[in-house]
Structure 1
Amino acid sequence: MNAPLRVNEALLIADRAFKPFKCVAWAPQDGNGELTLTVIDRTNNNIGRKQIPSSAYTDPAQLECLLQQARAELSEEGYTLQSWSMPQ
């Protein structure tokens, strides 16, 4: 996947990256283009948060790197994620 991503595509990818947990995303109203991803466990507790600038979520390679970092952080905290790889 080399073409720039649209925000909706990036959100779908991020949601799949954190299964079996839920990933909620929002963009602040200030219009800076940054996305905030929050990973929520089955009891609705916030277990992780990552802010992603628009330059990163539109670039598949940068998005993959940030998602892998966030997954690693959750794993280090003892959360078990399903296997995942960036769509091609």
Structure 2
Amino acid sequence: MTAPLRINEALLIADRAFKPFKCVAWAPQDGNGELSLTVIDRTSTPLGRTQIPSSAYTDPMQLELLLKEARTELSQEGYILQSWSMPH
């Protein structure tokens, strides 16, 4: 069984998943534990956004699945991402 991720680890993984773009993350003020991730280009133009519940970003397998889905969506929109795999 894989150990749960801390939020900082999840954020680092998410940032690396969207290279060469930047991934900006924040937790909404309602305190529900959800993370909002926005991928931006070098001019700070948003390219995509996703919400990740705390149950997903603490679970490496769920986080990997959500990040892969977001990467696929960006690729389908024509954005070219560097290759990436979930660290183990």
Which TM bucket (shorter chain)? over 0.9
**What runs of 5+ residues in structure 2 fail to find an aligned partner?**
none
- 1:22 counterpart letter in structure 2: K
Task: Calculate the TM-score normalised by the size of structure 2.
Answer: 0.98
Residue equivalent to 2:76: 76
Task: Calculate the TM-score normalised by the size of structure 1.
Answer: 0.98
Where does 1:35-46 land on structure 2 (aligned, <5 Å)?
A: 35-46=35-46
In the TM superposition, what whole-angstrom CA distance separates every residue of 1:3-47 from its partner, at most 9, and x where no partner exists?
000000000000000000000000011110000000001111000
How many matched pairs?
A: 88
Runs of 4+ in 1 over 4 A off after TM superposition: none
- Structure 1 vs Structure 2: percent identity of aligned residues? 82
- 1:47 counterpart letter in structure 2: L
**What runs of 5+ residues in structure 1 fail to find an aligned partner?**
none
- 1:78 counterpart letter in structure 2: G
